Amino acid sequence: MKTPFSNTLDQLAPSGIRRFFDMILDSKDIVSLGIGEPDFSTPKSIINRVKKTLDEGRTSYTSNTGMIELREEIAKYMQKKLKCSYDPKDEVFITMGVSEGADLTLRAILNPGDEVIFPEPGYVCYPPLITLAGGKVVSVDTTKTNFIPTADIIKEKTTPNTKAIVLCTPNNPTGTVIPTNTLKEIAQLAKKHDFWVITDEIYAEIIFDNYQYDTIASFEGMKERTLVLSGFSKAFAMTGWRLGYICGPKEFIERALKIHQYSALCAPIMSQYAAIEALQNGLGDVERMRLAYEERRNLLIGGLRSIGIEVIKPEGAFYCFPSIKGTGLTSEEFSVKLLQQEKCAVIPGNGFGQAGEGYVRCCFASSNANIEEALIRIEKFYKSIKKGDTHA
């Protein structure tokens, strides 16, 4: 074999986040603000519903698009929560997590050379998936606009080859929520230049301070050019259940289904039953967890600022993205030395794109006690940097 492996894969670097997680796993007595996963268990009502379905022997395949009962519940949710009307039969599609949804979406719409605008810092999966689908990543630096992808900076990157833009709101890693007026301006650009909007809304239920949250799909003329990706992992503490969904035009769903039916067939039936229960009876649990995240956010932000570390207060998700530019260390150096010297884990910001250099991601989906201990260790490390006595 002259070329035994795909040349495309040679363009992809291993995930910096996963590499750092491996370092954490190899260490002991770690206080972690690293992994982006709820520290809550899946709500009991969801677990009990699944136990019942398993006892009843419901372990078969479902339709490729997912159980119609679940798609109907999602359509109801989208209408009530986001004022978007979707036909559960033709415009809602169940995936194995948002990650599969992102992969299917990009492969369904991209042709070789198509450009996809990607605001940075942003979630790590999108640039590699764009590349694997034959597209070209066009990065947009949002650090000078408080991590908001404004219409002005998007317009600068728009070309005749622009096929789509990816919006993650609330954002991972920054926790920022794109304001309604900005979304409306981006919508006008999308209509004027005729490109898709892929909106990743996995954290839509985790919003703080009564901040107004809208989906760009709800604006006039946008439903037909918007692909909404969401799921159950974050809000319902269901990361291991691997279940997500896409809402979009019928013509898109038909094409994405062609990929899904050969690569995955269908999402696990027990996870689909879990999601039905989540939407029918689990939103009270979501609110309980959201309130806890808000309290933890305030604890972490207040602690970082008291140390002297600059950080923008997140409006959603369970992350903040403090600047460590004043330390003289790179994101990687800061994170590695903090881990080695104080056994405290954060994620290097450059793992979320070049625009993330000079920042680190801290996750506050963790107990108050854990956050307080992390702040003690971060303060000790930060003071040692200022004194210039960090280890080589």
Number of other residues whose CB lies within 10 A of the CB of residue 43: 23
**Partners of 245 in beta bridges:** 94, 230
* Full-model pTM: 0.95
Kindly report which listed range (11-20, 161-170, 347-356) carries the lowest average pLDDT score. 11-20
| Percent of the chain clearing pLDDT 70 (strictly above) | 99
For the cut 50, the answer to whether the pLDDT of residue 392 exceeds it is no
CATH 3.90.1150.10 segments of the chain: 8-42+284-383
CATH architecture of 58-282: 3-Layer(aba) Sandwich (3.40)
- Cis before 121? omega within 30: yes
Pairing of strands 344-345, 31-32: parallel
Q: Are 106 and 252 in contact (CB under 8 A)?
A: no
Reported as a single tens digit per residue, the pLDDT across 131-159 is 999 999 999 999 999 999 999 999 999 99
Distance CA 53, CA 48 (A): 9
Residues in the chain, overall count? 392
Over the stretch 255-311, which tens digit does the pLDDT of each residue have? 999 999 999 999 999 999 999 999 999 999 999 999 999 999 999 999 999 999 999
- CA atoms lying within 13 Å on the CB side of residue 149: 31
Give the residue carrying structure tokens 């690293």. Answer: 34
User: Where are the domain boundaries for CATH 3.40.640.10 in the chain?
Assistant: 58-282
Region 339-366: mean pLDDT is 97
The DSSP string of 249-316 is -HHHHHHHHHHHHHHT-S--HHHHHHHHHHHHH-HHHHHHHHHHHHHHHHHHHHHHHHHT---PPPSB
Given this model, what pLDDT does residue 376 score?
Answer: 99
Determine the average pLDDT of the residues in 78-82.
Answer: 96
Strands in 347-348's sheet, in edge-to-edge order, are: 319-320, 360-363, 347-348
**DSSP letters spanning 211-251:** -----GGGSTTTGGGEEEEEESTTTTT-GGG--EEEE--HH
Q: Are 92 and 228 in contact (CB under 8 A)?
A: no
Write out pLDDT tens, residues 60-74: 999 999 999 999 999
CATH class of the domain at 8-42+284-383: alpha beta
Q: Which residue has the higher pLDDT, 49 or 19?
A: 49
